[in-house]
Structure 1
Amino acid sequence: MTLPPELIASLRGVPGFDEEAFLAVHERGEPPVSIRLNPAKAGFLPDVPQRPVPWCDTGRYLSSRPSFITDPAWHAGRYYVQEASSMFVEQAFRQQAPGALRVLDACAAPGGKSTHLQSLIGPGGLLVSNEVIRTRVGILSENLQRWGGSNGVVTSADPREFAGLPGFFDVVLVDAPCSGSGLFRREPEAIREWSPEQVELCGARQQRILSDLSGALTEGGLLIYSTCAFSPREDEVVVDWLVEQLGFEALPLALDPVWGVVESGKYGYRFYPNRLEGEGLFLACLRKRNGVSSSYRGTFRPGVSLLGKREKELVAPWVASPDDYTYLLTGETVRVLPSGLTADIAHLSSVLPVREAGVAIGQIMRKDVVPDPALALSSILSTGIPRVALDLEQALAFLRKEELSLDDAPKGWALVTHGGYGLGWVKVLEGRINNYYPKQWRVLKK
């Protein structure tokens, strides 16, 4: 693997850069395999030798790369396949923003950091996962649905649109679009696209995104800025600009020396693949020293209405602790939102293009509820819903959307599970079983 000479030249003199070791580790081209476990779906450990990721409580290195696509536990949202360095967001959040209530992941697809943040803030906080590129919103929504939380909102807004939410968020994470030099081991084809001109364009775009989003952060709120790039123009230079031009205060993070993370500039943190088990990453935490507190009216946009009493009586048996939620009708789909977050989500929907919110329960057809795939993966599903446990062969057949033969399955709707956690829905009829796994999710690999 031949790295761009201009990149190497730009890194000479940067804290922690060891040119010989850096080139050697890229020549070997052996990125580690890592996953992050879902604490809300506890008890799962892959059947592969593993070690902990030291800066993330639920992170694990795997000794080899299994076939994730044919693992029902992955489809059930019991873990997320994520690069280990990016899990350092946990340290930023735990050390500088414990108890945060409103969190924005501004560049969220495909969802690694969003699912992580959802675990960190717990069910009482609000997570807004935004992705401006509309073709990537689908995979973001899918991954969040698998994770199973009920306190998330997916939006597809340009950063400029967040000006309509002054002082709304306690934490804003910007994992900014970048030149990608930190991922050359994993994506060697990206080397051909790298250039000094691209780095400059990325740096300017990063500053524009941060400027657009800064007003949505409350006074005293936390900005977490990260890239998967090594270039100082996209890293320390941007942090200096945030401090000098936008009035942010850079914050220190406590590091364990054995981690191998390098402090650089005004409390920026660099991850070099020759110093630790992970890809290239830069991360900084900054406190906003000025701003406003939010005020809002809490009104849903047209087309969203509260569910009627009769319809709610049909839906409520599907939901654990049904009195803790607000029931909405959006088009033909019934959704539930945690009652304590309803006003916040209503305000968001009046300002931003909201694609998903809370948990989709399903659609009401006459006197029957047709359950949504998201409900099968959610933590709010009632334990009173009939369940059918599948072995591995049956689970893979279900995920391929094949016909199933299930002895003694109860008639009507049933949740199919593997390892105790939901995969999706079947409807058991006289003489046949209908597989309701979404076509767009089905596994094609045999």
Structure 2
Amino acid sequence: MRFENTADYALRLDQEDPLRHYREEFHFPQVKGKDVIYFTGNSLGLQPKSAQRFVDDIMKDWRELAVEGHFYAEKPWWDYHERLAPALARIVGARIREVSVMNTLTVNLHLLMVSFYRPHGKRYKILCEEKAFPSDQYMLQSQLKFHGYDPGEALIEVRKRPGEHHWRTEDILQAIESHRGELALVLMGGVNYYNGQVLDMAAITKAGKAAGAMVGWDLAHAAGNVHLALHDWEVDFASWCSYKYMNSGPGNASGIFVHEKHQADPDIPRFEGWWGTKRETRFLMQPRFDPIESADAWQVSNPPVLALAPYLASLELFEQAGMDALIAKRDRIVAYLEFVLGEVDRQVESTFEIITPPGARGCQLSVFLHGEGRPLFDYLMQNGVITDWREPNVIRLAPAPFYCSYTDMYRFGEILKQGILERTGA
């Protein structure tokens, strides 16, 4: 498709956008009296306007019903989390019984590793990508030390090739094959937080399973962003946060996936709590754990409904829009952003290098701003472009399709160009 870097053309793309009305469903911060250009949905999604109503409903029920809200609220609290499961299952490509909501992301990964990191004999190593998100690194290292292993020896980190900014799938598959007799677990980020690369989760999962390892995914940057088929890929487990592309609010509750083939295993180790027991027996207060035959069995405590309320509000928007439509717009708006960057690059002295590999992209483009530094980022922020800076000179741009417009992409290009020209005195 031939793009144009003009305001009229960007407006025409917006007018043709079947999802354009969803922009009105979100609150935008303002800078200098205008809605910001928001590129950090990969860090914290904007607030859905409906979220306040969902929270207010719970506050009203708490005020008027107190403890009876567990059973007699319009959306009873005791099964509130179950309302999220159908939408989540569609977003991550799962069966409803394979998903649940609880805790936060790293907590969930630790709890899931109780079940799925089960080292024995020579099979004790964990494979991940180099420089995984720090929380994943800390989690994996601490798990290995907890089991008595040296992370320096037991953690296999697949590296990028010298001079390259992304992983090659063949290198990951080769690493799995090379360690097939030692691997207990493959656990990676489905979309890398730094370079925005979408890993080939289907191929990596297949290779990990063939090597005899369990396979799990951290989907923090993937859920609500890219196509997922966790059940069909036969992923063992996964977890994701809800506050990035799924717009549930800062630090909010995390989703989990446990493949149904593990749910009937009576011997699977698991840290258990009251809320993982069957609904039919939960209030009998029996001394023996009676697990729900679903991912809910991994719940430890009753879910925090005030946190789940904005998550449910956002998921209703996902149900209305559908992942196929969101992904279609994502691809088009990211392509237009890349085009605008190229146009600006030709007009100024700086050089932009997109390090997110073509063919392996979600919403995010990570861009080296060669010749530029932190002052350009500060200029963007001061002029209403909310983006993300990573040392030494990378900005992460993530135009979420729910609320970003093509006009935003054009306006960003103009602000970016002006910031560089002011710096150079041109």
Per the normalisation by structure 1, the TM-score is: 0.28
Q: Which has the higher contact order (CA 8 A, sep 6+)?
A: 2
Query: Whose helix fraction is larger, Structure 1's or Structure 2's?
Result: 2
Per the normalisation by structure 2, the TM-score is: 0.29
